[in-house]
Chain A
């Protein structure tokens, strides 16, 4: 119990003191996972919507592929992104290994199937009448897409929250492609994992509390937007 008390005290001390390193780690976590979520949403929401209403025969396969991707283990993504980004690898000339950009790439790959899959499920549950009605009113495909997303906005926001939740919580891919570099690619999950391995349990508890607090605040804000709409 002492340990928990120590961790909580340490968390408050770090937050109140505005510890620069912890602040930087927390901000980088938000930036990397936030950016990855935005990219996933920009691609995944329209993609999921189109997949939900697409009547082509290949739809089943693509949908199955997306759903399987929702369970993609972060370490697997980390390994494959590393293979491509290593400076002797196919994309090595970009010099992205061990940078926040590499982490954004890996996290986007992790979040994209989740955002796409949940959007697809949400839009798929809409009354098919909406679509027929819009088409009979002469809506263009673009207008139809926007209307469907708006109608399914509760599911779409849930999809984005799920995507963000997954990437902000993952540690395997970030550790591998980021390298957990102090001041450069260290995020809350990799820092927590490292502090535990070093036996600094108090600091690890503090970092975990900060991570949970950030996740809570972000998801609470999104929920608020969701409930108001």
Chain B
């Protein structure tokens, strides 16, 4: 093959591969800003194809921490949010940035750590008490530190204890997603506050075990809400409404109640549509 035809071949090959890079996706699209836990557990991979089939909406999932998800909603960069930081969500409800907020499901947070448990927190009933022991012992603790719902919950427990861990040498602020934070805790034989779903989905690869669970403060509650279309022209109110209705529909609640049983032996989330936070005792 001559040099010229070879170059032409190479160039046309690259052009052929490039065509379509600029092609737009489906016509109707909806931006869902959510927490990493819903993606990392695989729940959305199960739900979104069903939603797309029912409504024709192509959902773009931006999986970030809850803080970032709420910020995207407030900016009008997302149409619908699925988060787990009730107090921060209520601020947006009150400011009118989000509407139609509904309870979807819950699971719980747990404190995990290495089986050696240097601070001796295993079986401690109160999460606050457990963190106090960890702080007293100055045992290594890995925090999400990314303003996510999990991080907000962790701060809530520290606040209740009246202790500020930030800046302490044994308190590692990872600034990353849940799965990554668990990996770090696993490597460092450290303690970590995690949502049970992500922990269960990674359990096989981790040495960490659940040490503290069942305290009411550790409840992890997920709400879905749509961004107020009256605040931003670009927000798709119809699609947002459809997604909220979809998440609390009987069909989806049924899927949620079974999700994870085949793989982990127990469900990762418990469906709660129609209930109120008080019903959960949180």
Contacts and interface: CB of A to CB of B under 8 A. Distances in A.
Contacts of B31: 98
B75 interface: yes
A34 B18 contact: yes
Nearest to A100: B21
B177 A197 contact: yes
Interface in B116-135: none
B60 A184 contact: yes
Chain A contact surface mostly? helix
A229 B6 CA distance: 11
Interface residues of A, number: 35
B6 A30 contact: no
Interface string B176-220: 110110110000000000000000001001100000000000000
A179 interface: yes
A27 interface: yes
B261 interface: no
Contacts of A61: none
B176 to A, nearest CB: 7
A55 to B, nearest CB: 32
Given A38-B15, A198-B40, A225-B10, A31 B21 contact: yes
A192 B22 CA distance: 23
B14 interface: yes
A73 interface: no
B265 to A, nearest CB: 19
B205 A199 contact: yes
B3 A229 contact: yes
Given A31-B17, A34-B18, A228 B179 contact: no
B250 interface: no
B260 interface: no
A221 B232 contact: no
Contacts of B63: 180
A90 to B, nearest CB: 13
Interface in B1-58: 3, 6-7, 10, 14-15, 17-25, 31, 40, 45
Given A225-B3, A228-B3, 9 more contacts: A34-B14, A88-B75, A88-B232, A98-B31, A182-B61, A184-B25, A199-B183, A225-B6, A229-B3
Interface of B: 3, 6-7, 10, 14-15, 17-25, 31, 40, 45, 60-63, 75-77, 176-177, 179-180, 182-183, 202, 205-206, 232, 234
3 A-B pairs with the lowest CB-CB distances in the bound complex, closest first: A35-B18, A197-B180, A31-B21
